[in-house]
Amino acid sequence: MFNLTRPFAVLLALTLSLDAVALSLQSEKRADGTTVLQLTNAPAPARPPQLNEDPAVRAALIDFIGYATGSFTSDGSMIVTQVLDSLDSEFSTFEKGVPAGRKMLTAMDHDHGDERAALLLNDKGQLIAVGLVNGHCTVKSKTESLSCNPGPETVLTIFQAKDAQKSDAEPIIAWSKELPPMVAFWAESEDPETRALAQKIATVEYITTDPKKESWSASQLPADFPKAMLALLPKNSHLVGAGVDGFFTTPGLKGAPIYGDYDELAGRPRHDFEVLLQTYTPFSEVVKFYQEQAKGAELRANDEKALIDGVAGGGTYKIEIKDKEEEGTSITFSGWRKEV
């Protein structure tokens, strides 16, 4: 199977998005902190963004799914990230079977649409279902690369809130069967072998979301991680990795070295603990969180990066915060058992 060049893939995405030209996606943050999305007739930007570039879309997905992980388009990563990766084109609207007042936004990956996603909104602009066409991709061992279901065994995963009715998501099933141009080209090929390998939705699965559920706990950190420093690790985040005494101890990174070169350059011993977090909380709000939590610490920040140095529970800590734009905000926590 060949790969399309980026310009051709973008052209196909534009073909799918013709109905989006007259519409603009607006957002509003409600009093309860959640984000709603609204389609309006306001003029669209000269260069409409890819759907995953919109901070409001990221915020709405976090409100709906939280920081849960799974293996759909990648192995054991944040579900929201996998959905966003499948919204890497300008949005299109899908109307077939969508009840009056509701809206459905769709987009696809940057290649040819084997992976694509749909966002179903109620009449208030709240997410009520998310559809993700995927291959249940996993990495079976450290020596193997990512492997996904073959095209004829493609899965449609539908995420819904607790107590939602499966029937509410029926428009997503209809959407999943209307293949993007290149995928349809293979499915309708005159060559029987090509048709046999083409994508087909073989399974529809339903997953109930629990956005308030904590995605990680203190038990995943090193056993002697200082309790006084726990408050410096925001819970509304994904635990990328954690380790102690030179090596990561969490799955995925277990056994990988923790580097302390910058410590040595600064003339101090290598840090004992390291915790890596990723959050879709905006950079400015993460900085504000630390201004409130890291009392007495030294904070230096610009528009893209912040550094915090402080002391807690008899030990020293250093925190680096980076604005990763569409990828969210990264937090690197380094800690020492003693003051250094």
pLDDT digits (tens, 9 = 90+) for 307-323: 999 999 999 999 999 99
Task: Give residue 197's identity as a one-letter amino acid code.
Answer: L
Q: Comparing 2-11, 220-229, 282-291, 325-334, which segment has the lowest mean pLDDT?
A: 2-11
In this structure, the chain runs to a length of 340
| Whole-number pLDDT of residue 143 | 80
Q: Comparing 33-37, 85-89, 255-259, which segment has the lowest mean pLDDT?
A: 33-37
| Whole-number pLDDT of residue 23 | 67
> What ranges make up the beta strands (E) of the chain?
24-29, 35-40, 69-70, 77-78, 92-93, 103-108, 116-121, 127-134, 154-160, 201-208, 238-244, 247-248, 273-279, 298-301, 305-312, 315-323, 329-335
> What tokens appear for 152 in the block?
């004829």
CA distance 137 to 243: 27
**Residue 5 pLDDT greater than 50, yes or no:** no
Helix residue ranges, H only, the chain = 6-16, 55-65, 79-85, 170-177, 181-187, 192-197, 261-265, 283-293
What average pLDDT score do residues 54-82 get? 96
Task: Give residues with Cβ within 8 angstroms of 155, minimum separation 6.
Answer: 72, 133, 134, 135, 136, 149, 201, 202, 203, 204, 205
pLDDT band with cut points at 50, 70 and 90 for residue 332: very high
Q: In this structure, is the dihedral angle defined by the CA atoms of residues 149, 155, 161 and 162, taken in order, positive or negative?
A: negative
**Residue 288 pLDDT greater than 50, yes or no:** yes
298 vs 33, higher pLDDT: 298
CA distance 156 to 317: 44
Q: How many CB atoms lie within 10 A of CB 310?
A: 19
Summarised one tens digit per residue, pLDDT across range 171-193 is 999 999 999 888 899 898 999 89
What average pLDDT score do residues 24-47 get? 82
What average pLDDT score do residues 298-313 get? 96
CB 87 within 8 A of CB 50: yes
Mean of the per-residue pLDDT values of the chain: 90
Task: Please give the share of the chain, as a percent, with pLDDT higher than 90.
Answer: 77
CA distance 330 to 55: 16
Write down the domain spans for the chain.
6-208, 218-335
CA distance 81 to 87: 10
Among 8, 4, 180, which residue's Cα sits nearest to residue 94? 180
CB 284 within 8 A of CB 299: no
Q: What is residue 56's DSSP assignment?
A: H
What average pLDDT score do residues 284-296 get? 96
CA distance 272 to 194: 55
Q: Comparing 180-194, 248-262, 276-290, 303-317, which segment has the lowest mean pLDDT?
A: 180-194
> What tokens appear for 300 in the block?
């230096």
CA distance 103 to 94: 8
| Whole-number pLDDT of residue 18 | 39
| Whole-number pLDDT of residue 19 | 43
**Residue 113 pLDDT greater than 90, yes or no:** no
What average pLDDT score do residues 315-339 get? 97
**Residue 273 pLDDT greater than 90, yes or no:** yes
CB 121 within 8 A of CB 37: yes
What average pLDDT score do residues 52-78 get? 96
**Residue 148 pLDDT greater than 60, yes or no:** yes
Which residue matches tokens 């030990």?
Answer: 315
What average pLDDT score do residues 232-257 get? 96
